[in-house]
Amino acid sequence: MTPPIDAHVRLDTHPTHPSAVTATLTGTQAHIALMGLEAADWTVVADNVLVLVRIDREEPYWAEKAAEALTVQGITAEITARLREAIDEEWEWANHPMPWFSRTEVREASDKAQKLYDDIRHGRLLIHAHAEDGHTTVAVGTYLDSGTSVHLHGENHLRQIADTFDSPAQALLAFERAYGDTMRPGPAPMTDTECEAAEGRNVLSAPAPKHEPHNAEPQLVPAYAADAGDHDVILNDFLAAHADWDRWRTWSDDATHAIHESQTLRIERLHQAHPHETAWTIAAYETPVSDRMWHLTATGSTPAPVLQTLLNHLAEGDRWDTAIGSPVTEKTVTAGTSPLTGAGWKHTIDGRWIRWTNPSADAGVQFDAFTAQKPHSTLATWTIWAGPNINHPTWALYASPYTPAPLIADLATELAHGTEIRHQLHATSPRQTQSTQTLPAAAPTDPKPRARRFH
């Protein structure tokens, strides 16, 4: 018989997420249970508190499996009455595309989709591009450990591998042939289900007490971590200060276009874009009637100082005009990223990708040597980002092969050395929130997004 371990795990429903599960650990050997749950993809949110959040809504099932595994190890696992009710509930996916599947087969298929989601979230599967395919999303990516590339089809619990390739080049070419019209660089924006999962993994805490504005204190943060501010105001201020730019808005009033007097540089600003979607497009042309030479896009959550650096560069016409049409070379890559190297950012090479990452690993620049050789590719040669990782950035800029090195260098300088004052309430300090972490009583929840109940 396995000797008992001084660890107790209490499994309960999540206080806000409709299907997630929490685990509260006690005992002198609680660390043993913690390591086991972490290996099963539970997320630590505080000292000896973990959550299990999945995109397939199967947390109660897997929580019961975790309890069984803990018991075998000699760890006491307690399942609350609320969680037991959720475990015993019978349900099925509404409008599942494979209605002939048994409940077990549905669970197996969704678990494979969950593993793909986890691989993407943890950076094991790097997504190069995504596209729309009817009413769903497709993507192309590469496993960094094996180098195998895959085409993915579907979202959330329906995501699956549609095809495999021996190299990223083969996968990208095939993906571009199939989805070139709707192809976009990088991963698709998070779905509602993925956003819910991310929120469920946040630190669980009691509601913070309200503070008056005088309790706010200024905080100096890196430019890449600054607030986005009001992008429309930033654009208005830019145009008001530069008479050599003209503006006009679309008839639907959902976009503003700004054109330089030379007619060779243009800005498009989408006013209602999602924070993780493209909100800005900068495009440069050799002549007013020529094809586009280079372009850059920015998401709606791009920090204000980074966006202002971009616009300030565009205002200096002599800097971008002379660089139009310049192919990417080792010299231009070095010139564009020298501010990062000088600031001590980590420099790595992984096949076709050259990356620079800041010491805290929450901001970076990536150069794709493969797309750099394809001037008309729809994929990004440069990716400038900040956030959890490059696959799920808080914000990102994507630039094409001929984007001028001085522009990349200006943005790199802002990332490496720029700072911004941000006001933050005492109660919102991550460290303070974690130190006062409590688990509020869970309210009864109805997992409507996932199921149609049997009666």
Measured in whole angstroms, the distance separating CA 190 from the mean position of its chain's CA atoms is: 7
Neighbours of 298 (CB within 10 A): 23
Q: What's the pLDDT tens digit per position in 181-211?
A: 888 888 888 888 888 888 888 755 444 444 4
pTM of the predicted structure, to 2 decimals: 0.56
Q: What's the pLDDT tens digit per position in 39-88?
A: 888 988 888 899 999 998 889 999 999 999 999 999 999 999 999 998 88
**Distances, alpha carbon 4 to alpha carbons 35, 63, 226, in Å:** 17, 21, 50
Per-residue pLDDT of the chain (455 residues; tens, 9 = 90+): 556 789 999 999 998 888 899 999 999 999 999 999 988 889 888 888 999 999 988 899 999 999 999 999 999 999 999 999 988 886 665 556 666 677 788 888 889 999 999 998 888 899 988 999 888 999 999 998 899 999 999 999 889 999 999 999 999 999 999 998 888 888 888 888 888 888 888 755 444 444 444 455 678 899 999 999 999 999 999 999 999 999 886 655 678 899 998 888 999 999 888 888 899 999 998 888 778 888 999 999 999 999 999 999 998 865 454 445 567 888 889 999 999 988 999 999 988 889 999 999 999 999 999 888 887 776 789 999 999 888 889 999 999 988 999 999 999 999 999 988 876 544 333 333 333 333 433 333 333 333 333 22
Q: Distance between CA atoms of 140 and 221, rounded to whole angstroms?
A: 34
Token reading at 36: 């086991």
% residues pLDDT > 90 (the chain): 48
Nearest CA to 14 out of 197, 219, 275, 207 is that of 197
Alpha helices in 316-404 (DSSP H): 317-321, 330-342, 369-372
